[in-house]
Structure 1
Amino acid sequence: MRQLLAAVAGLVILAASACSAPTPPRADAPQVKPTGPITLPTPTGPHPIGTTTLHLTDTSRPDPWNPDIDARELKVTLWYPTRQRDGQRSLYMTAKEAELLLKDSGLSTAPYDTLSRTRTNAVKDAAPSGRKLPLVVLSPGFTKPMSTLTSLAEDLASRGYVVAGIDHTYESYATTLSDGRIAECLACDSNTDPGFGTGLVQGRAADVSFVLDELPSKWDGSGLIDRSRIAMVGQSIGGAAAIATMVKDPRIRAGIDMDGTGYARIPKSGLSRPFMFLGSREHVPGGRDTSWDRDWKLLTGWKRWLVLTDAEHQSFTDIPLLASVLGLEPLPGMLPAARGSELTRTYVAAFLDRHLKSRTQPLLEGPSSRHPEVTFCSATCRS
């Protein structure tokens, strides 16, 4: 798979993309001195947030990337409402995870502990609170750790969701396992193989189903979850995995693909559960990536196809928000990082509120003067 410099909502970062057409290289992007640690955006919901980590091992299948391991170990980060407002904030990522992510992404000019000093809003191991809460599964992009979707996860938890974010082992630059070892990206060695993307999303679908099986017995707070209200949201290859999981697992009631190429194939009979595409300009109808054109025809239930003006592939993640601490200055013409985060959180929450909480969402019915960057598409687009 090609290595490239991708311009993403005001920052350039070396990234491997297995799921979306790449942005042309920008090797001449200027670099600036890191400004120090930053705090992720304040969540918009009324609830304080807790977070905890689970390590789950699936002994029913070997790891697809490491031939020396006969079981699949997964790291799952949970975010949820809590009554506890004070306490130790969780790490965004460890210093070692940050070092490997930056080094393997080609950002060798930024101090390697930079991301580990980013401040989150969630209290570590706080007691969960609430009842009958919907569950949202999050799946990150290829090579990216789950932490790059933290601001979205925190926002959803503050709005009354339990969020389960999965680090798909050996598919990101750094995943800390239960014994403290760091699993690096073994899948990166196979990314030019025929059928790589298809196999990747099928493996992620199996990961998600296993996590759903295990949560009731492995997390003390699982009694909060209403297991009849589960959705999946993914970015990049994680978005493609949302479709793959819905095709295989009927427990997923609704799904969102954030800028991911459709490697999963929807059966000819169609997929009737609610689904939303939320993407960059690469995904306009008839654009550079035509997989959404194909899949749109096979989505037979409630559906939306939204494109954000001037968004890039990482605009739906935390990465643009961290531009200043990575020592990279914005590129002109890109969707500002804070606005990209706001739009992502607003439209993802609207979709989930509609389909998991049965709340009317006029925002999803057509273009909005408050959100002029959002274009509604089908065979064509309108804004």
Structure 2
Amino acid sequence: MKVTGAARAMRGRTALVAAVLLALTSCGQEPAPAPSTAAPALPRPTGPRPVGVRVLELSDTSRPDPWGPARARELTVSLWYPARSVTAPAARYVTRRESELILRAHHVENVPADLLSRVRVHAGREARPAATTGHGLPLVVLSPGFSLPRTSLTALAEDLASRGYAAAAVDHAYEAVAMSRSDGRVIDCRACHDSPDGRRVATVRAADLSYVRQRLLALSRTDHRGMPRLDPARVAAVGHSIGGAAAFEAVGTDPGFAAGADLDGTLHSAGTTPVTKPFLMLGADRHGKPGADGSWERGWQRLSGWRRWYSVAGTDHVSFTDYGLLSERLGLASATARDASGALDVVRRLVAAFLDDRLRDAPGSGPDTVAGDDARIRRHDP
């Protein structure tokens, strides 16, 4: 199959993630510092509320899977939310089998197979949701980068939940290197071998995000003990890399989304219809600058509502995920940002400020305030 320009871009960014995983395991040719003997931990959430998480398996029987058409489209979702207490057992970052497959997919050898399964997180597994007021919690649906698991956005999701959001990260079947199902299947990244067109991936994922939005809202109306109550009028789509392109498509095509954000993702889109909902474009140091990616200029012109374009100095493509920070916390040479912890902190603060401003109408706490107080953040108005 012919490799498209979009596929090349996805491959390039997948290779960058592979470089980070290699740094995580100190398998490069250059000697790395001795890693910490303690299990690495994600940064603590910055909000005041304890966090719970539960995993849901969804199947959209109205659509055959584009990569495996013999089955309906399958999605695995981790939903983080404010919890009543922190007494629930700690959740797992990934399973041992998922850790093994993630490392194998990136050709990492001579390391413990359970390396990534030992990452410590802060959410309690299936903790009882905290009581909600009003119409319920605002919901943020998260889509990861191509080949990356939904768990690569855990630090962002936990932080949003601690601030009073429900955050649902989605594994898209055959688009992540390891997606577990309760029947024992572990679905691999079949699409990774097909060199898919980026527009097709973004369109398929946008439909996934819409389906997840609808199903979670329906479940929140019926499963009062296990699910937090969600506000159907306050739902955002946020994605990293190709997930950001999917968020752009979802916000432009599904009126159920009130806002959206793209975290350093090329905007694979064939559409021309104006996107009227608020949208945040947040890019890495190089990719996020005007002129670096023509799709951002085209996307910017389609945004007819509230819009912001920022880039963050000292960051690269994986600064928006957990992997750069984990490399830093293991004490290993990092292929990502100069200050991975600081980079992820900026991303979390900016995304939260955007959502507070657009979904909660919280005066004085918007992204312009955050950007004005941090010299690493550049605002662009092409």
Contact 1:30 1:328 in 2 (8 A): no
AA aligned opposite 2:20: V
Contact 1:139 1:234 in 2 (8 A): yes
- What is the correspondence of 1:226-305 to structure 2 with a 5 Å cutoff? 226-268=231-273, 270-280=274-284, 281-287=286-292, 289-305=293-309
Offset at 1:206? 1.1
Q: 1:83 matched to which residue of 2?
A: 84
Q: 1:23 matched to which residue of 2?
A: none
Distance 1:7 1:247, change over 3 A: closer
Contact 1:49 1:158 in 2 (8 A): yes
Q: 1:20 matched to which residue of 2?
A: none
Q: Mind listing any 5+ residue stretches in structure 1 that lack a counterpart?
A: 16-26
Q: 2:3 matched to which residue of 1?
A: none
SS at match of 1:198: helix
Q: 2:52 matched to which residue of 1?
A: 50
Q: Which has the higher contact order (CA 8 A, sep 6+)?
A: 1
Q: 1:19 matched to which residue of 2?
A: none
Select which of 354, 366, 372 maps to 1:351.
354
Offset at 1:228? 0.5
C-alpha RMSD of the superposition: 2.4
Distance 1:229 1:267, change over 3 A: same
* Counterpart-to-counterpart distance in 2, 1:167 and 1:176: 9
* Counterpart-to-counterpart distance in 1, 2:187 and 2:217: 26
SS at match of 1:354: helix
Offset at 1:367? 7.6
Offset at 1:72? 1.2
Offset at 1:107? 2.5
* Counterpart-to-counterpart distance in 2, 1:61 and 1:207: 10
Offset at 1:326? 6.7
1:56-76 Cα shifts (integer Å, max 9, x gaps): 11111111111332x111111
Which segment is superposed worse, 361-370 or 153-162?
361-370
Offset at 1:375? 0.4
Which segment is superposed worse, 32-41 or 200-209?
32-41
* Counterpart-to-counterpart distance in 2, 1:165 and 1:376: 27
* Counterpart-to-counterpart distance in 1, 2:291 and 2:170: 32
Contact 1:35 1:324 in 2 (8 A): no
1:65-95 Cα shifts (integer Å, max 9, x gaps): 11332x1111111000011112210000001
Q: 1:225 matched to which residue of 2?
A: 230
* Counterpart-to-counterpart distance in 1, 2:106 and 2:92: 20
AA aligned opposite 1:352: L
* Counterpart-to-counterpart distance in 2, 1:61 and 1:367: 41
Contact 1:86 1:123 in 2 (8 A): yes
Offset at 1:7? 5.6
Q: 1:163 matched to which residue of 2?
A: 167
Q: 1:24 matched to which residue of 2?
A: none
SS at match of 1:54: strand
- Whether 1:373 and 2:376 are equivalent positions in the alignment is yes
- Whether 1:122 and 2:100 are equivalent positions in the alignment is no
Offset at 1:6? 5.3
TM-score by length of 2: 0.88
More strand by share: 1
SS at match of 1:306: strand
* Counterpart-to-counterpart distance in 2, 1:266 and 1:315: 28
SS at match of 2:81: strand
- What is the correspondence of 1:57-206 to structure 2 with a 5 Å cutoff? 57-69=59-71, 71-131=72-132, 132-191=136-195, 193=196, 196-206=197-207
Offset at 1:246? 1.1
Q: 1:22 matched to which residue of 2?
A: none
Offset at 1:316? 0.6
* Counterpart-to-counterpart distance in 2, 1:29 and 1:296: 42
* Counterpart-to-counterpart distance in 2, 1:207 and 1:102: 26
TM-score by length of 1: 0.88
Q: 2:317 matched to which residue of 1?
A: 313
Contact 2:93 2:121 in 1 (8 A): yes
* Counterpart-to-counterpart distance in 1, 2:338 and 2:262: 19
SS at match of 2:236: strand
SS at match of 1:60: strand
Instruction: Give the count of matched residue pairs.
Output: 360
SS at match of 1:229: strand
* Counterpart-to-counterpart distance in 2, 1:249 and 1:179: 32
Contact 2:94 2:151 in 1 (8 A): yes
Segments of 4+ in structure 1 off by > 6 A?
A: none
Contact 1:84 1:126 in 2 (8 A): yes
- What is the correspondence of 1:322-341 to structure 2 with a 5 Å cutoff? 322-323=326-327, 328-330=332-334, 334-341=337-344
Contact 2:81 2:228 in 1 (8 A): no
AA aligned opposite 1:68: A
AA aligned opposite 2:212: V
Contact 1:256 1:277 in 2 (8 A): yes
Distance 1:143 1:31, change over 3 A: farther
SS at match of 2:256: coil
Distance 1:126 1:51, change over 3 A: same
Contact 2:203 2:246 in 1 (8 A): yes
